[in-house]
Amino acid sequence: MDSRREDTKYHKCELHGERDDVVTSFIDAGIFINTRRRLKRFMMISPSHPLTRFYIKSLCMFRREEQRHLIKYYYMIHPMSMFAFIYRVYMSFILALNYFVWPIVVPYTPRHAKSYLFINLYPSYIILITVSFFTGFPERKVHTIVLNPKSVTRAYLKSLFIIDVLCVMPRLVRYLTSKGVLLRDDLHVRTLRWVLPMFMYCRYNYFLETLNEVRLYTGFSTYLFLVLKSILNFVCFIVVLSTMVYRILREFSVYKDKTAGDFAASVVQVVMMVSHGRHTSELLSDKLISILLVLCGFVIHLLVLVYAMEIWYKFYSCENKQNTVYDAVDALIRYKALPVEKRKRIFLYLNFKYQRKYYKESTIVKITSEALRREILVRISRESTQRVILFNQLPETILEKLRASLSCEIYLPGDVIIKAGMLGRCMFFILAGTVVVKTPKGKEVCYLRDGAHFGEISLVVNVARVATVEAVTPCQVFRLNRRQFLTVVRHHPDLLKQIHAQALERYADTTTLHTDGSELTSSSELFEVTDPDVENRASK
């Protein structure tokens, strides 16, 4: 039986024993054992990572991910570890220096001081290349986490590896120039020295994704973040244009006396369509660049409009719908004069069900076919129903009908799902969440988690419940009623008799009582834990 200690913010565990620590099981000998454990936890999936809650829905899934990481991919870095998050923040800071500081500072920095100013930039890229080969990534299309070394290496080589190598090349060009291998005044060398750093902007999406993770971690406003992202995009676009114009036109003698600031001011004026710039000439290249900048300015104006409409749409669509629902619920609570604790439970239910993304379930039901809804329900519940011992004799066609008869319910921490002494008329499958099994006196017996089931004997035997099951965390469960079960299997009387006999036999085994008739001595059979990890340990 899985009876590990389970403390949450909703529940204080009463069972004895320590909570399982998978790292302790894997690192149990050697020197600096505590340091090695902390370092390993630092590189494993963390509940504090802002993306963990989008890929890991329950404690059971979290533990399985920890075990998968340690057993199969021990030397990989989990993409949702705090190490990966902190390193992304650090690397984004380095990228911000490249995007917004390097193009402005370099033209005004003496030649001998540039190496000292950006001494940490290129080593950071070398470390980034190395770390990328050992860090997994989330596969958004299938909503999984990839840790396989071959898959990680293949994905990195196909995406950003060449870009990252090119970002390190300016340091090599500078070194070869200082040693006299390359001529400083050569046109091709000068072109390489400003073109190669521009490849750093290929990592700009990585920079924005990290900012979004920081927003999720800190709880920063979504709309303020969109405004900030729009400003950063505009500034980055202006910096890239100014740098390119400055480096190209500096090759003409007529612009030798112009500074980088003059070029930046001219670019901004032309792009914003307020003037032709601070200086003009009769050169064809100057006219062509002015035309291109005007076209770029037109594109920028469109992008600003698109960003403004995106912010407007998000504010008055998704958020407005959610706020409308929450405001209506809040108004009802105030009208009914419900206590604060009841208000918290109501909003906890809404947050657990909708995951901060409100949807109208009735609309979804209308636009999807009954067959599709049944197929989805059957697929979700397939694994749970296969573990019920009483269902072993049922053919797959009957199991499919039983799965289609399931109904979904949500319970909050403290809700009693079944109560000892009450007549049982249904069974439950845990889709997500944790429940605690208690004796009639309230003593905790065990915990059931994702994939577990309980109450199956009540489907065929008219008996009272022998234990109480209470939700520890917000739980999503499937319910199968006795009437629905009998309706499906009534055409197979032989199977029904076998199931009835098995249920009576199991009920006789699981209701052994103490002399006072109040304490359970065996609940592991009635309340089966179907966690694969527990089954694996039992088989060993």
Distance of alpha carbon 111 from alpha carbon 414, whole angstroms: 68
* Cα–Cα nearest to 46, from 28, 64, 66, 74: 66
Q: Which residues of the chain have pLDDT under 50?
A: 1-5, 17-18, 513-540
The pLDDT of residue 91: 93
Distance of alpha carbon 343 from alpha carbon 335, whole angstroms: 12
Alpha helices in 250-283 (DSSP H): 260-271
* The pairing of beta strand 416-418 with beta strand 137-139: unpaired
Place of tokens 């454990």: 37
* Cα–Cα nearest to 430, from 454, 407, 400, 402: 454
Secondary-structure breakdown of the chain: helix, strand, coil percentages, each rounded to the nearest 5 = 60, 10, 30
State which fold the 389-539 domain adopts.
Answer: Jelly Rolls (2.60.120)
Q: Which tokens in the block code for residue 531?
A: 């966690």
Q: How many helices (H) and strands (E) does the chain have?
A: 23, 10
Q: Please count the residues of the chain.
A: 540
Distance of alpha carbon 468 from alpha carbon 430, whole angstroms: 15
Name residue 144's beta-bridge partners: 139
How is 277-325 classified by DSSP, letter by letter?
Answer: -S---S-HHHHHHHHHHHHHHHHHHHHHHHHHHHHHHHHHTHHHHHHHH
Tell me if residue 208 falls in helix, strand or coil.
Answer: helix
Long-range residue pairs from 68-72, CB within 8 A, at least 24 positions apart, any chain: 68/147, 69/44, 69/45, 69/147, 70/22, 70/23, 70/26, 70/44, 72/147
Distance of alpha carbon 449 from alpha carbon 469, whole angstroms: 12
* Cα–Cα nearest to 472, from 441, 438, 439: 438
Report whether 70 contacts 104 (CB < 8 A): no
**CA distances to 110, 254, 483, 497 from 393, in Å:** 83, 90, 19, 11
Distance of alpha carbon 385 from alpha carbon 391, whole angstroms: 8
The pLDDT of residue 514: 37
Q: Which tokens in the block code for residue 100?
A: 């917004």
Q: Taking the model in full, what pTM does it have?
A: 0.63
- DSSP label of 31: S
Distance of alpha carbon 81 from alpha carbon 40, whole angstroms: 10
* Cα–Cα nearest to 2, from 365, 526, 429, 524: 524
CATH 2.60.120.10 domain span(s) along the chain: 389-539
Work out the number of other CB atoms within 10 angstroms of the CB of residue 208: 16
Distance of alpha carbon 93 from alpha carbon 207, whole angstroms: 8
Q: Which tokens in the block code for residue 369?
A: 């076919």
Place of tokens 């001998």: 112
How is 350-386 classified by DSSP, letter by letter?
Answer: HHHHHTT----HHHHHHHS-HHHHHHHHHHHHHHHHT
